[in-house]
Amino acid sequence: MAEILASLRSLMTSHSPPLDALIVPSEDYHQSEYVSDRDKRREFVSGFTGSAGLALITKTKARLWTDGRYFSQAMQQLSDDWKLMRMGEDPPVDAWMSDNLPEEAAIGVDPWCVSVDTAHRWERAFEKKQQKLVQTSSNLVDEVWKNRPPAEINPVIVHPLEFAGRSVAEKLKDSREKLANEKARGLIITALDEVAWLYNIRGSDVSYCPVVHAFAIVTSKSALFYVDKRKVSSKVSSSMQENGIEVREYGEVSSDVALLASNQLDKDTGLGSGQNGVCENEKCEAEENSNDLTWVDPASCCYAIFSKLNAKKVLLQQSPLALAKALKNPVELDGLKNAHIRDGAAVVQYLVWLDKQMQEIYGASGYFLEGKGAGKKRSDIVKLTEVTVSDKLEGFRASKENFRGLSFPTISSVGPNAAIIHYVPEAETCAELDPDSIYLFDSGAQYLDGTTDITRTVHFGKPSAHEKTCYTSVLKGHIALGNVRFPSGTNGPTLDILARIPLWKYGLDYRHGTGHGVGSYLYVHEGPHLITMRQQARNVPLQVSMTVTDEPGYYEDGSFGIRLENVLVIKEADTEFNFGDKGYLSFEHITWAPYQIKLIDLSLLTPEEVEWLNAYHSKCREILAPYMDKYELDWLKKATEPVSA
């Protein structure tokens, strides 16, 4: 690490102008949360492998900012050259730069790797001491990264209508109507999942995410797709042509954005075939000439693209595709529900297998009985590790219809590792399973008909009274959020407290959000809505047909971690009254896997919570039974037997 920092500092000194600091964000050119290996620049310079964070290198210091999910992990992974800055506790990066860097300091960043929102926030902070954000003409990290992975040529795949549920023509028509309403001439689409959703395509350019490295521009006359053309087969090319989409090279987006800004783009492309709601008459022409704004999403558009536009003629507003994509159509909803049933079956089959293995190899009392492990491994030849068992879970999923891979690296964590919120085990260093410790697994898959995300926490020995109290508090919060009814127009941060109240009673809490949207064979983390304590989260109301997770937790450093997670779908609630004629909403669980009764202190549950638990378990039995063999079904019946407080 020291060598990398020395090389970067040397480039900072020779840069014109010389740089007092260099910012290395986690994001790629599309502001993605998950990036391809060749875009993991922040990981390369710092050694920290979490998905969120920002590195800052000054002439003498190196700082890494990350959020509460990753504090423990960062402390383990950062070398002595680096200092961890805890987001929410330490000063944010813009304030730290403003206060600690000299007057008129030049602070460099690759403008392709930072969003408009973030760049503007930094520039405001820099005004105090006349500091300057410098857009580097090349990425300095790439210059010192000698064995940077090469770009892969992965094929673009057409996502069939039987899974997408809406045609490209319909989606383009809607987008053009929104452009006209906002008096905008063009929309620049930079988020990879939005490009994939709009053009009904998928790919494999980013691990766990079925997306393609591509940009899109939509105007009243044209639709453009910017991608490495080597990824586009003749079949995909024909599909694009049928939908009036012109395929251009990935790098051409830069010059085309400038053409769009000067109203030359449609003239240059020669498009305007009248397809997909394309404007053809004189009235339309006149309207179009008065529409001179370019619409970009300030959270996902990079500063490099924004810098090619006339700032006075830019509509900085959330992409119209973000909400459209989040509102699942009936085909997507059916697909998601079916995918979650198959996924739940895989999780139960895994638990059945793991329970048997823990008893046979470690002499554990097992999933159902409470007792200390036999204290001695019964086999010195076979052992279960966090990685070998998560591979087995992947195998159960891979046997299911429409499986295309995992949706994120499985968090398979024993005892103290479960307290690391986004722990990812490595084969060389991971822990062995322990019959006397909690085991937490957070996992999901990509199926052609939907994306899944589920967390369960189990114990194969005798959990302590404290572990039971913590698990039960997490479960009570999980039930409270999942069962709430709320007025239409309510946003996620308003509901977040419901999942925390049972933990707060004991003075406990957790350092992560409670819910995120889930894509339809797309990203496992999908916006624009969130259930979180952070009030600055985008204030998007929760709406019918959105998906959202319900995942409270509790983590005791060095000891154990607990999290329970289901995916929910928002639906209309059948309430007795309708105050203010707002309409009321509720949640429907679409994840199916039992909660471990042994970890629940039933005396802490209310009669309503017991009733809900029994009803949920009864549905698990009924829904998953067709996927089970006799042994698995007997286990499932036992795991879902009714309880009483």
Report the DSSP pairing between strands 293-296 and 184-189. parallel
CA atoms in the 13 A half-sphere facing the CB of 351: 30
Average pLDDT over residues 407-415: 97
- How far apart CA 73 and CA 76 sit, in angstroms, is 5
Reduced to 3 states, what is the DSSP secondary structure of residue 401?
coil
Copy the structure tokens of residue 53. 């964070």
Find residue 246's DSSP bridge partners.
224
Distance CA 552, CA 477 (A): 7
| Out of 42-51, 271-280, 574-583, least confident range | 271-280
* pLDDT bracket for residue 375 (50, 70, 90): low
Q: Which residues in 602-626 are b (16+ Cβ under 10 Å) and which e?
A: eebbeeebbebbeebbeebbeebee
Model confidence at 272: pLDDT above 50: no
Secondary-structure percent of the chain, ordered helix, strand, coil, rounded to 5? 40, 20, 40
> According to the model, what pLDDT value does residue 373 have?
62
Predicted confidence band of residue 539 (pLDDT cuts 50, 70, 90): confident
pLDDT band, residue 247 (cuts 50/70/90): very high
Please report, for residues 100, 115, 520, 521, 606, the alpha-carbon distance to residue 407 in angstroms, rounded to integers and kept in the order given: 40, 25, 11, 9, 35
pLDDT of residue 381: 76
Q: How far, CA to CA in Å, does 299 sit from each of 114, 289, 532, 571?
A: 9, 28, 18, 28
**Closest C-alpha to 401, from 444, 443, 447, 335:** 447
Reply yes or no on whether the pLDDT at 279 is more than 60: no
**Alpha carbon distance 332, 343 (integer Å):** 16
pLDDT band with cut points at 50, 70 and 90 for residue 1: confident
Neighbouring CB atoms inside 10 A of 131's CB total 22
Assign 289 a pLDDT band (cuts: 50, 70, 90): low
Biggest alpha carbon–alpha carbon distance for the chain: 84
Question: Cα(100)–Cα(540) distance, rounded to whole angstroms?
Answer: 35
Mean pLDDT of the chain: 94
Query: Percent of the chain, pLDDT > 90?
Result: 91
Pairing of strands 515-517, 450-451: unpaired
DSSP 8-state symbol, 291: -
Q: What is the pLDDT of residue 538?
A: 63
The candidate with the shortest Cα–Cα distance to 67, out of 28, 33, 98, is 33
| pLDDT score at 165 | 98
Query: Is residue 59 a contact partner of residue 12, using CB atoms and an 8 Å limit?
Result: yes
- pLDDT per position as a tens digit, 158-170: 999 999 999 999 9
Q: Please give the C-alpha separations between residue 404 and each of 267, 321, 391, in angstroms, as whole numbers.
A: 41, 24, 15
> Residue 631's pLDDT is what?
98
